[in-house]
Chains A and B, each alone.
Chain A
């Protein structure tokens, strides 16, 4: 720490004009849209005793996280001039500058008292100093992937200045079987599609789950009574209950408030669907909208003061914002086609949505006043975006056409770059991205 503070001070005194004349400090500005990924070097983490295969496995996941963002490119190990025999071997910056590495990560893995221990340092190759302090993390052996995600989160965060999103989970609907007899199960997975864990069996239809803000509970719609109803369960043991019924109605589309204490959802009566709010256990719902149109797919602003939702009161689905207590909404979408499934960015600045136009589906974003609409994806059926905890990436469902067409999860940067399928969790839809884990 002391050493780092001194170095930072020195850099300040010399000033960027001198110290970083050619290259500047190590930093990626995500907003500027990175076309050329930042080249970095990371020797496979050293086995510092008992690390075994995990040293290589953890390194692989760190690299997959970083390179998977499209912001980083790892320089292949066979190009490295300096070999590290120990974690504390002094860095020969010239050797890394010679192969054009901008950043260098050195790490070690060991086993101590039944725990896996990872330590690592991040170096800014061109300014010839460590970026931040070295860190050490420990976890049980079966959580080794989380250790890797945490290392990658720290590296991502130090270089971009943004919080990371790798050590996070996604709740989704696992799908199997043909389109006309689809089996659906609620499941959670790591953000990269690994460690799929089922929360329900396929005996009934489940739809559109949402993680609680802390990631400990899930709200979703289930047909287990024969009719669509809202259920809340714990992620840890899948135990939970169906929220109290309002007679003669269908309830669906539930969402948590940012503090997790209340929910907003759709209630249908005699064919008319409106938005209601209640405590998280579902008691005494308060009506928020009162129109003969369909009001559904609500999403709270991060400060909890407003709700964005879709309504077809204008004749087709469009996006509206109202106060969290209800009242007259303001329409914000005005482009061609239909706009649905709005979700408020965790940064508060953008609304992501599904757009339908000309027989195609698009995932897009707009500012909260409806300006600067940008479409990020297009396909036969793209639907239901969810935000990464740092508001930089969106995950959504892409369904392929025809009898054999299945649903898969895809992700895309808010810039529209780096569109890709998410891991291999099998058929999957309706993702809801949970928070960064503690």
Chain B
């Protein structure tokens, strides 16, 4: 009983954090990786004009209002109900903005070995990609990349941070895909 309540609470907190996440990227930084140096993100991930968050056609709107990020449970790549809701919104936006393509970045928390986490991040990115394709987004507009545990958002040694780091981020860029 006690455990169930805790677990429910944990989920609630997690959900809240995800929703409230003040879009780390909503403040003018489209590419979360930009801070880490050039070249890291490669293929067209950067350089998109952010636009106004209240303009439904802007990348800022995609990142901030639609939501560019979904989270995962420990060692899992299954999409939660909340994640599919966000991804449905992403698909809708991408379907109505064909001039954009996306790279889906998969990430893991640091509680795993480095190479396994790289593979786990790829599983997560792929789960998002498959879902977006199932919602009608053309596969050639979506690429995936895994960063494993190399690019955490949060750095504390606690589940509250690990939960933020187990994520897949849809990074949009101009270009109709390959």
Confirm or deny: A356 has a beta carbon within 8 angstroms of a beta carbon on chain B: yes
Q: Is the CB of A359 within 8 A of B111?
A: yes
Q: Is the CB of A268 within 8 A of B42?
A: no
Residue-wise, chain A 315-357 has the 8 Å CB interface mask toward B (1 for contact) of 0110000000000000000000000110000000000001010
Residue-wise, chain A 211-222 has the 8 Å CB interface mask toward B (1 for contact) of 000000000010
Minimal Cβ-Cβ distance residue in A for B38: A203
Minimal Cβ-Cβ distance residue in A for B118: A252
Q: How large is the interface on A (under 10, 10 to 19, 20 to 34, 35 or more residues)?
A: 35 or more
Confirm or deny: A202 has a beta carbon within 8 angstroms of a beta carbon on chain B: yes
Q: Is the CB of B155 within 8 A of A384?
A: no
Contact partners of A268 in chain B: CB under 8 A: 119, 122, 146
Contact partners of A401 in chain B: CB under 8 A: 157
From A184, A208, A225, B115 is in contact (CB under 8 Å) with A208
Confirm or deny: B2 has a beta carbon within 8 angstroms of a beta carbon on chain A: no
Q: Is the CB of B118 within 8 A of A207?
A: yes
Residue-wise, chain A 415-430 has the 8 Å CB interface mask toward B (1 for contact) of 0000000000000011
Q: Which of A21-29, A48-56, A175-183 contacts B (4 or more CB under 8 A)?
A: A175-183
Q: Is the CB of B40 within 8 A of A204?
A: yes
Confirm or deny: A438 has a beta carbon within 8 angstroms of a beta carbon on chain B: no
- Give the CA-CA distance A43 to B115 in the complex, in Å: 48
Task: Give the 7 A-B residue pairs with the shortest CB-CB distance, closest first.
Answer: A226-B42, A271-B126, A401-B157, A403-B155, A273-B119, A294-B119, A340-B113
Closest beta carbon of chain A to B156's beta carbon, Å: 6
- Within 114-165 of B, Cβ neighbours of A (below 8 Å) are at 114-116, 118-120, 122-123, 125-127, 129-130, 144-148, 150-157
Confirm or deny: B101 has a beta carbon within 8 angstroms of a beta carbon on chain A: no
Closest beta carbon of chain B to A399's beta carbon, Å: 7
A residues lining the B interface (CB < 8 Å): 178-184, 202-205, 207-208, 221, 223-228, 250, 252-253, 266, 268, 270-273, 294, 296-297, 310, 312, 316-317, 340-341, 354, 356, 359, 380-381, 383-384, 399, 401-403, 405, 429-430
B residues lining the A interface (CB < 8 Å): 35-43, 45, 75, 77, 110-116, 118-120, 122-123, 125-127, 129-130, 144-148, 150-157
Minimal Cβ-Cβ distance residue in B for A316: B75
Contact partners of B156 in chain A: CB under 8 A: 402-403
Contact partners of A381 in chain B: CB under 8 A: 110-111
Q: Is the CB of B118 within 8 A of A202?
A: no
A-B contacts, CB under 8 A, total: 126
Contact partners of B37 in chain A: CB under 8 A: 183, 202-204
Q: Provide 15 A-B residue pairs closer than 8 Å at the C-beta atoms, listed in order of the A residue.
A: A202-B37, A203-B37, A207-B115, A208-B115, A223-B39, A223-B42, A227-B42, A227-B43, A228-B118, A250-B145, A252-B119, A273-B122, A297-B115, A317-B113, A340-B115
Q: Is the CB of A250 within 8 A of B111?
A: no
Contact partners of B38 in chain A: CB under 8 A: 203
From A204, A205, A294, A402, B116 is in contact (CB under 8 Å) with A294
Q: Is the CB of B155 within 8 A of A225?
A: no
Minimal Cβ-Cβ distance residue in B for A383: B113
Contact partners of A252 in chain B: CB under 8 A: 115, 118-119
Minimal Cβ-Cβ distance residue in A for B106: A271
- Give the CA-CA distance A82 to B122 in the complex, in Å: 67
- Give the CA-CA distance A70 to B93 in the complex, in Å: 63
Contact partners of A340 in chain B: CB under 8 A: 113, 115-116
Closest beta carbon of chain A to B55's beta carbon, Å: 28
Contact partners of B111 in chain A: CB under 8 A: 356, 359, 381
Q: Is the CB of B40 within 8 A of A226?
A: yes
Closest beta carbon of chain A to B139's beta carbon, Å: 10
- Give the CA-CA distance A402 to B155 in the complex, in Å: 6
From A181, A227, A250, B35 is in contact (CB under 8 Å) with A181
Q: Is the CB of B114 within 8 A of A180?
A: no
Closest beta carbon of chain A to B148's beta carbon, Å: 8
Minimal Cβ-Cβ distance residue in B for A202: B37
Other than A268-B146, A294-B120, give 12 A-B pairs with Cβ distance below 8 A.
A178-B155, A202-B37, A203-B38, A203-B39, A203-B40, A205-B147, A205-B150, A266-B115, A271-B127, A297-B116, A356-B113, A429-B114
